[in-house]
Amino acid sequence: MATRAAPRARFTGERRFYTGMALAMALIVFIGFAPTYYLAPWNPALQPLRPIVHLHGAFCTAWILLLVAQALLIGFRRPDIHKLLGGAGLAVAAGILITGIVVALTAQRRVHTDLTAGTMADPYVFLVYPMFAIGLFAAFAIAGLLNRRRPEVHKRLMLLATMSLTVPALARIVARSVPGMPGVWGALPLINLFLIALAVHDLRTRGRLHSATIWGGGILLLSEPLRVAIGFSAPWQAFAGMLMA
């Protein structure tokens, strides 16, 4: 009886790039949240995390692991399993969006006072950053899932979604490394290194930027100064105060 040979792994330069990007972002997420989430059980000085924070962390971790798994599955030539896991991506993305909004609106670390009003320590100012991160993640993830039959668009949008999701982890790394500097101000320029890597990959493999890189990257870049401008605006702070009341 003839037996069917198992498909051989084919980690081309393309697959190595996307797998490497996924692993790099997974590492950043772990390093960023290790002290307060992943290794929290071994830090008795920390206050117990709220259930909603645990749930949000679980969804975000699932997304990162799913991204790595999906990249590896294509490398191992198992698009069948890759497609089966696609539905899980939609459920996880929805979980991240819902729990992320709740966590942002109910954050207990920051308190609005007259002394912190209008500064990065003011929750009404800071709220714009997690909201943008979650909003852009959801927009890119949904667009990517809707374009799953267009692989070149799909995989770029999945990377852009995860870049947005990685900003909070990078912000924590920056805050620990550069005392006194708002973490998000350092995280936003650093996340652009992933965007630059994607652009370089496009130029090397295609000779030009892919349209998804141009539009998605442009939105990501434009959002960076917008977060600052909106966050320090009076209308946003009044709106944030209403949401967090």
Domain positions in the chain: 13-38+49-107+114-243
| Percent above pLDDT 70 for the chain | 90
Give the pLDDT of residue 106: 86
Give the pLDDT of residue 150: 92
Give the pLDDT of residue 6: 47
Question: What is the residue whose two structure tokens read 């259930």?
Answer: 51
Q: How far is Cα 60 from Cα 103, in angstroms, rounded to an integer?
A: 13
Mean of pLDDT over the chain: 87
Residue 20's Cβ-side half-sphere holds a number of Cα atoms within 13 Å equal to: 11
Tell me what the mean pLDDT of segment 76-87 comes to: 74
Q: Please, what is the Cα angle at 184 between 241 and 42, to 5 degrees? A: 95
User: Please, which residues have CB within 8 angstroms of residue 200's CB and are 6 or more apart in sequence?
Assistant: none
| Structure confidence at residue 111 as a pLDDT band (50, 70, 90) | low
Q: Is the pLDDT of residue 233 over 80?
A: yes
Give the pLDDT of residue 3: 47
Question: What is the residue whose two structure tokens read 């949000």?
Answer: 56
pLDDT digit string, tens, across residues 55-69? 999 999 999 999 998
Give the pLDDT of residue 5: 47
The Cα-based distances of 30 to 33, 65, 157, 168, 170 in angstroms read 5, 11, 22, 11, 10
pTM of the predicted structure, to 2 decimals? 0.87
pLDDT digit string, tens, across residues 161-217? 999 999 999 999 998 898 877 788 889 999 999 999 999 999 999 999 999 999 999
Q: How far is Cα 67 from Cα 103, in angstroms, rounded to an integer?
A: 23
